[in-house]
Structure 1
C-alpha cells in the first residue's frame, strides 16, 4: 500500500461525510499526541457539526482522508470537544513553533505538517513544511522554505518562547466571520489572545460581532487601548455600541475618546437608546439617497460586497443631509422594485410609502411585529421630527430575541437526529 500523505492546513474546512455520502460537518483541526522516539501520533480530528459545535472524531472512525474530503464510519460522539492533557492541536498549537535542524544547519518555523498513513492504518506526522529565517534585510522578503521529516528536527530549545501565531492566522484567512469566531473561542485563552493580536483589525472586528457579549468584552479588555479603539472603529456601530455597553462606564468613555471622531459619534448616539428599543437595535449606517438619485446610482451602492444583505435590500429617501440623522424621511425604495425600472428612473417616483417608519422609542416587540407582518428584512427608524436615524434589520431582532448563548449552544436545547445514530439528545 502506498503511503497516504495530507497536509493539515489543506484539511481545514474540508467536508466530513458518512459512508452514505451525507455531510456530517467540517474539519477544524487535527489532534496528535507526542511520543518519545517517534513522530507524533494522530489520535483524531476536531470536527464542527451543525450548530457550530466542535466534536472529537477518533481517527479509528476515519476510513479515508484526502485534501477535499474526509470519510468516516458514521459513528461519532456528539459530545463537545474538550482537549485532554498531552493532546496537541496541529493548527492551533503546532504551526508557528520554532524547530532546530539536528544537523546544525539552523532553525526554522513550522508552516504546515503532513500526516501520513502507514501500512497498518495508523496516522503520524511525517513531513514538515518549514520556513527558514529570511536572508534579506527587506521586510517584504520571506525566508526560503524546505521540507523535512520529523526526525530531522528538534523542538525549540527556549521554552519561554511562544509559537508564532502568523501561520494559524493564515489558515483562518478564508473562514467566514461566524466560523472564525467559533474557531477562536475553541483556542486556549493565551493562544486566542495571541492570534487576536495577529489578526487584521477588520477580521477581528467581524469575528467579535459573532461572539457572545461576555467573550467580546473579555477579548477587548486584553487588547491595548489603541488596538481596542481600532477594533471598535472597524465594527458596525450598533455592534460596537452593544459591546461598549457591557464595559464599565469609565472604560467605555476612555475607548470612545480614542476612536475616530465620526465613528465615536455614531456609537455615542446609539448608546443613548435603551437596548430593547428600535433605537437600541438599529444600525445608523443605511443607504440614504435623494429623491433625484437614479436607479443606476442606487444599484451601484447596494452592489458593494461589504454591505450586509439585509441593508442592501432597500435604500432610504430623505431630504438633505443624507447622513443620519438625515433630513425629513420620505420613504423606502426596495431592491426588487428598482430592478423593474430603467437605470435613469428617479428614485422619488419609486418610493413605497405603505410602510410607516418606527419611532426610535418603539419596543423590540413592536419592531418584530412589523417585520413579521409585512415580510420585511429591514424597517426605517425616525426621531421625533421624522428624521431618519437608522434601520433595524431582521438579524438585529434575531440577535435580541435569541438566548444570549445561542451561538455556542444552539443545538443543546433540542433533540438532534443524525442518520447514522438515530435521535440523540445533546
Structure 2
C-alpha cells in the first residue's frame, strides 16, 4: 500500500474477503494479530487471521498484504497454510481489545475510564510495517443502553490510553458482536470456539437467547457445556427452551443427573416435556435424532395454509421442505398420521386445494427405534431431506432431518476441525493460485540464505527477518 495510506478501522475488516493477485478468493479476515510494545509505543500489527474455505485459520503476515481497499484484502499470493496458533505475547485485536475498559489521560484532564469501541491501523510511510495508531472510545460508565448512548465518543492517540495489557474481568462484548453481526450461527460458533474461555463466556452473555441457542447448536460439546455452566440457571433454561428440542436433549444428556433435572424443572412444562420425551430414546435412533416440532396440518387445511407455515423464517430449510398431514391433535404426538406433502407439490397446485387430497403415503415412515444406519439408508435411498417418525399406534412423533443424521455420522470432533478436505488437494489448489506451502510446511519466500526454511511466524535466531512479521525480543508487552 502506498505511503500516506488512509487510516483503517478494524471493524471494517471483519469478514472481508482476501484475494490473491489473480483475483481468486483465498479466505476471509476473522481477526488481526498485534503485539504490544514497551512504554506507550503503538503496537505493531503482525498480520491477519484468515479463515480458508476449509475453515482452517491461518496467519497472514502484513508483509504479504499488498492492498486493503474497496472492502477486500489483496495478498502477494504466497500463503503458509499451517493452522494459526496464538502466542502468549500476542493480542487478537477484535477478540481481545474491543470492549475493554481502559484509562484515558488527556492533557489537563484527570484520568478517566473509557470503553474501546474500535481501533484504527495505519501503514508506516515508506515501509511495509503496520501499527495501531488510534483508539475510538466512549466516555462514561459501562451500563445500560441509555447511559451508553449518552456517553461522549472520541478518537484518541494510542499513547493517550493505558490498560490494554491488564487482565480484565467482566469485559463487555457488544462491539465485538457488532463486527460479526452478519455471520451465520455456524460461523459465529467457529469464532467463539477460537476465543479464550474468558471471552467466550463474555460474548455468550451478550448474545440474546435465540442467537445464543442457534450458536450453541453449532458448537463442540465441550464448548456447549462450558458456556451453559457459566450462565445463570434461569437464563440457561431460557436458552435451552430456544434450542431445537433434539439439540437441547443432546446437551442435557451430557450433564450430571442433578444439573439436568434442575434445568428441566426451570424450563416451561411443554418444552421440558418434549425434551424428556426425546431423552427417553437412544441417541443414535430415529427417536433420539428427531425434532418434535415439524409442520403438522389437518387434512382440511389448504395449500395456502401450508405455504404460510413453510414461510416461517425460523424453520430450517430441511423442516420447511415438507408438511405432515395428521388427524387431530396437531401437536406431536399427533392423531393418526396420513402422509406427507412435499414443498414442490405445494407450488404446483392452486392455493385453495386441500392438502388431504395430495398426500404422499407411498413411503413408509421411520420407526422411533430405527438405528442410525437404517435412518441414513432411508435418506440415501429416497433422496429425502426430512422423514416422519411414527409410533406403533400411527401417531406422528416428530421428524428427522438430514443435518441431524450427518451430525451423528461424522466423527465426534468434526466441529472442532476444518472441513475434512484432503490436505494435499488443498495445497495443490493453493499452489495453483500463486501460493506456496512446501513439503516442510514453509513457503518458498520463507527460505533463509542458507536454504533452511524460515517460518514467517517464528524466525530462527540466526535469521531475523526484520520485516515486522513478529516483533523483536525487546518488544514484549509492557504492563501499561
Asked whether the two chains share a fold, i.e. TM above 0.5, the reply is yes
The correspondence of residues 80-159 of structure 1 with structure 2, limited to 5 A, is: 80-99=83-102, 100-103=104-107, 104=109, 106-119=112-125, 120-133=127-140, 138-139=146-147, 141-155=149-163
Q: Is the CA contact 1:51–1:409 (under 8 Å) kept in the aligned structure 2?
A: no
Structure 1 residue 423, shift from structure 2 partner: 8.1
Q: Is the CA contact 2:172–2:206 (under 8 Å) kept in the aligned structure 1?
A: no
- State the partner residue of 1:331: 339
- State the partner residue of 1:76: 79
After superposition, the Cα gap between the structure-2 partners of 1:424 and 1:371, relative to the gap in structure 1 and judged at 3 Å, is farther
Secondary structure (helix, strand or coil) at the match of 1:297 reads helix
CA distance in 2, matches of 1:135, 1:409: 36
Q: Is the CA contact 1:24–1:49 (under 8 Å) kept in the aligned structure 2?
A: yes
The correspondence of residues 8-23 of structure 1 with structure 2, limited to 5 A, is: 8-23=10-25
Q: Is the CA contact 1:33–1:41 (under 8 Å) kept in the aligned structure 2?
A: yes
After superposition, the Cα gap between the structure-2 partners of 1:383 and 1:102, relative to the gap in structure 1 and judged at 3 Å, is same
Q: Out of 223, 239, 242, which is 2:247 matched to?
A: 239
Secondary structure (helix, strand or coil) at the match of 1:398 reads helix
CA distance in 2, matches of 1:303, 1:265: 27
Structure 1 residue 270, shift from structure 2 partner: 0.3
Q: Is the CA contact 2:113–2:141 (under 8 Å) kept in the aligned structure 1?
A: no
After superposition, the Cα gap between the structure-2 partners of 1:279 and 1:422, relative to the gap in structure 1 and judged at 3 Å, is farther
Q: Which runs of 5+ in 2 are unaligned?
A: 442-480
Q: Out of 43, 47, 50, which is 1:44 matched to?
A: 47
- State the partner residue of 1:5: 7
Cα offsets for 1:56-100 (capped at 9, x unmatched): 111111111236111111222222211112111111111112231
The correspondence of residues 8-407 of structure 1 with structure 2, limited to 5 A, is: 8-36=10-38, 37-66=40-69, 68-99=71-102, 100-103=104-107, 104=109, 106-119=112-125, 120-133=127-140, 138-139=146-147, 141-155=149-163, 161-407=169-415
Q: Is the CA contact 1:111–1:129 (under 8 Å) kept in the aligned structure 2?
A: yes
Cα offsets for 1:194-225 (capped at 9, x unmatched): 21111111111111100122221222122221
- State the partner residue of 2:457: none
Cα offsets for 1:345-375 (capped at 9, x unmatched): 1101110112111111111111111111111
CA distance in 2, matches of 1:423, 1:326: 58
CA distance in 2, matches of 1:141, 1:293: 49
Cα offsets for 1:35-69 (capped at 9, x unmatched): 22421110011111122221111111111123611
Structure 1 residue 142, shift from structure 2 partner: 3.6
CA distance in 2, matches of 1:322, 1:127: 59
Secondary structure (helix, strand or coil) at the match of 2:131 reads strand
Secondary structure (helix, strand or coil) at the match of 2:314 reads coil
CA distance in 2, matches of 1:160, 1:422: 40
- The structure, 1 or 2, with the larger RCO (C-alpha pairs under 8 Å, 6+ apart) is 2
Q: Is the CA contact 2:289–2:404 (under 8 Å) kept in the aligned structure 1?
A: yes
Could you say what the CA RMSD is over the residues aligned between the two structures, in angstroms?
Answer: 2.2
Structure 1 residue 135, shift from structure 2 partner: 12
Q: Is the CA contact 1:5–1:115 (under 8 Å) kept in the aligned structure 2?
A: yes
Which structure shows the higher strand fraction? 1
After superposition, the Cα gap between the structure-2 partners of 1:145 and 1:422, relative to the gap in structure 1 and judged at 3 Å, is closer
Q: Is the CA contact 1:257–1:264 (under 8 Å) kept in the aligned structure 2?
A: yes
After superposition, the Cα gap between the structure-2 partners of 1:424 and 1:276, relative to the gap in structure 1 and judged at 3 Å, is farther
Cα offsets for 1:160-195 (capped at 9, x unmatched): 555322221222222110111110011111111121
Structure 1 residue 101, shift from structure 2 partner: 2.8
CA distance in 2, matches of 1:278, 1:220: 26
CA distance in 2, matches of 1:265, 1:224: 22
After superposition, the Cα gap between the structure-2 partners of 1:6 and 1:67, relative to the gap in structure 1 and judged at 3 Å, is farther
After superposition, the Cα gap between the structure-2 partners of 1:365 and 1:232, relative to the gap in structure 1 and judged at 3 Å, is same
The correspondence of residues 406-421 of structure 1 with structure 2, limited to 5 A, is: 406-411=414-419, 414-415=422-423, 416=426, 417=428, 418=430, 419=432, 420-421=434-435
Secondary structure (helix, strand or coil) at the match of 2:73 reads strand
Q: Which runs of 5+ in 1 are unaligned?
A: none
Q: Is the CA contact 2:318–2:402 (under 8 Å) kept in the aligned structure 1?
A: yes
After superposition, the Cα gap between the structure-2 partners of 1:222 and 1:144, relative to the gap in structure 1 and judged at 3 Å, is same
Structure 1 residue 249, shift from structure 2 partner: 1.8
Q: Is the CA contact 2:97–2:164 (under 8 Å) kept in the aligned structure 1?
A: no
Secondary structure (helix, strand or coil) at the match of 1:343 reads coil
CA distance in 1, matches of 2:201, 2:166: 21
CA distance in 2, matches of 1:423, 1:136: 48
Secondary structure (helix, strand or coil) at the match of 1:372 reads helix
